[in-house]
Chains A and B, each alone.
Chain A
Amino acid sequence: MGEGSSITDIVDPMSQGYRVASRDVVSESFDGDVVVVDLATGRYFSLSRSAGALWDMFGAGASPASIGAAAGSDPAPIAAFAETLCGHGLLVRQPQGSGAAPDLSAIARFAAAGDAPEVAVFDDLAELFTADPIHDVEEPAGWPVVKQG
């Protein structure tokens, strides 16, 4: 690898795989409505229906290219959404990919969703989760909050 480059520079973003970033990132699905929470940061994420289907497939190692091929969709927005999830700390890249084929039921959910892959972030409690409650917090009128200043 040349100076100044990284492995992500030479890997095709459409064919690389992803995995869930850590054991603190857990999710639940309610008939296609997916909620993801990062137990370490306290951030909650609500995924649109198509995003929930993609979440399942990314977590199982499918690449944007394989999902796009199976769904008959442009893989570029799928890869862009995977990168969005990476930016939130929910997924990490696996440049080698897993070679996993996308789950057909998830492909069907993705195709039937009829919405754009989107993620809504709820971070009201994030400061509390990430604070060290001994060294960084004080009592407010309720529960500890992060010390200011």
Chain B
Amino acid sequence: MGIAARERGDDRAGTIGSASVAEYAAALLAMADSAGARLQPTRIQLPWLDLTVRLSEGPLKQAIAETIVPLTVAAGQDRKTLSVTILHAGLSGVEAPRPWGDEPYFPHELNRRLGPAGLQASFSHDQCLWQVMSSGEGRAVQLMQGPEDYPPWEPGAPLRVFLHWAYAAIGRRLVHGGTLGLDGRGVLLAGAGGAGKSGTVVAGLLSGLASVGDDYVLVDLSGGVSAAPLYGTLKQDPAGYARLGLAERIGERPLNWQGKHQFHVRDIAVGPIPPRLGLQAILIPKTGATRTTLEPASARDVLLALAPSALWQMPGERESGFRFFATLAGRLPGYVLHLGPEPAEIAARLRRFIEDGRP
């Protein structure tokens, strides 16, 4: 913390506030440069992004290796680089993260303040964890109190915040939704938790459809609308796990922090995860029907299903996200997917829809 910040009075007891956050963020990036040099890099090719991650051995490194889906096709041109260093107190040259002070903390206001410095930042109070990124420089740092002091959802979608910032900077977005497809074409399933999205994705995979992911997928609007995989994570609560016959197929899996079984697309998919799906519709699942049907939905309804959770779950500036989701909602036809009770019937109806390109 510099003298100027102290003189402004926002360094009380070593805490961070709106006046000192830009300076602190820059200091964390500098710390990552020096301390991170001692950590072994892991390199992962993703769509449009060459990712390098430096972190200690442990569960988070294991989660990155197990859940992130690397690019399986030629990388192509027009790629960005992102170097993420994950540090924790106790590593050589690493200071403990400083907590946010008494000042109210509002993520989008914080990032408005940091924007002119080319920085983005997020602070997780419960873990006293900082995530800082310079999108222009392709550098990022996560500073934790200990090697496992990260949010409980992090292992399901590790580096989610950094990938969100990196892709938002190049006009693409992580979308909170599931996908199903066939022969390179597919649908995006969006909606609130508990609406049947994840169960539908699993039912489709079990019937031989493909998926580029559930929970978070990367959506690109350049040219046609497409989705690409970032994470292979699938989750089902015990009731869904039983209903879909997953225990018989892949055995019992431990419950995650949400009390859900967590597994991977490759555990149940017939083929490899495709590198992309050309999206032809957005479906809003709803449970409770006696058989599976599709009912046209307005772009307005699609936007209301897509945007709220995505905007809330991703820290930082929100308007460009709202505009992105509005464009997405306007580019594809939308349908309410009324879900019947039988997974095989749901999957068969979706297969017909994807093959025909219309209900």
Chain A interfacial positions (CB closer than 8 Å to B)? 23, 26, 28, 30-31, 33-35, 37, 39-40, 42, 44, 46, 122, 124-125, 128-129, 132-135, 137-139, 141-143
Contact A44 B304 (CB under 8 A): yes
Identify the stretch in B4-12, B32-40, B98-106, B182-190 within 8 Å (CB) of chain A at 4 or more residues. Answer: B98-106
For B299, the chain A residues whose CB sits under 8 A away are: 30-31, 33
Give 15 new A-B contacts, CB below 8 A, not counting A40-B106, A46-B300, A124-B308.
A23-B319, A28-B323, A30-B300, A31-B299, A35-B303, A35-B326, A37-B307, A42-B308, A122-B304, A122-B308, A124-B192, A132-B106, A133-B107, A139-B152, A141-B259
Given contacts A30-B329, A132-B105, A141-B258, contact A35 B304 (CB under 8 A): yes
Q: Quick check: is B286 within 8 A (CB to CB) of the other chain?
A: no
Q: Quick check: is B172 within 8 A (CB to CB) of the other chain?
A: no
Q: A-facing mask of B97-121, CB < 8 A → 1, else 0?
A: 0001000111110000000000000
CA gap between A85 and B88 in the complex, in Å: 48
Instruction: Rank and list the top 3 A-B pairs by shortest CB-CB distance, nearest first.
Output: A28-B326, A30-B299, A134-B125
Contacts A/B (CB < 8 Å), 10 sampled: A28-B326, A28-B330, A30-B326, A30-B330, A33-B298, A42-B311, A122-B308, A124-B192, A134-B125, A135-B105
For B319, the chain A residues whose CB sits under 8 A away are: 23, 26, 39
Q: A-facing mask of B305-322, CB < 8 A → 1, else 0?
A: 001110111000011001
For A125, the chain B residues whose CB sits under 8 A away are: 308-309, 312
Contact B312 A129 (CB under 8 A): yes
Contact B307 A42 (CB under 8 A): no
Contact A30 B298 (CB under 8 A): yes
CA gap between A128 and B152 in the complex, in Å: 19
Contact B312 A40 (CB under 8 A): no
Contact A134 B329 (CB under 8 A): no
B125, B192, B258, B318: the one contacting A135 at CB < 8 Å is B125
* Nearest opposing residue in chain B for A39, CB measure: B318
**Closest-CB distance, A23 to chain B (whole angstroms):** 8
Q: Quick check: is B193 within 8 A (CB to CB) of the other chain?
A: yes
Q: Quick check: is B78 within 8 A (CB to CB) of the other chain?
A: no
**Closest-CB distance, B36 to chain A (whole angstroms):** 26
**Closest-CB distance, A19 to chain B (whole angstroms):** 17
**Closest-CB distance, B30 to chain A (whole angstroms):** 24
CA gap between A143 and B258 in the complex, in Å: 10
**Closest-CB distance, A85 to chain B (whole angstroms):** 17
Task: Count chain B CB atoms within 10 A of each CB in A44, A124, A133 and give the residue with the most.
Answer: A133
For B356, the chain A residues whose CB sits under 8 A away are: none
**Closest-CB distance, B154 to chain A (whole angstroms):** 12
* Nearest opposing residue in chain A for B100, CB measure: A134
For B126, the chain A residues whose CB sits under 8 A away are: 138-139
CA gap between A121 and B20 in the complex, in Å: 37
For A143, the chain B residues whose CB sits under 8 A away are: 153, 312-313
**Closest-CB distance, A126 to chain B (whole angstroms):** 10
CA gap between A22 and B70 in the complex, in Å: 42
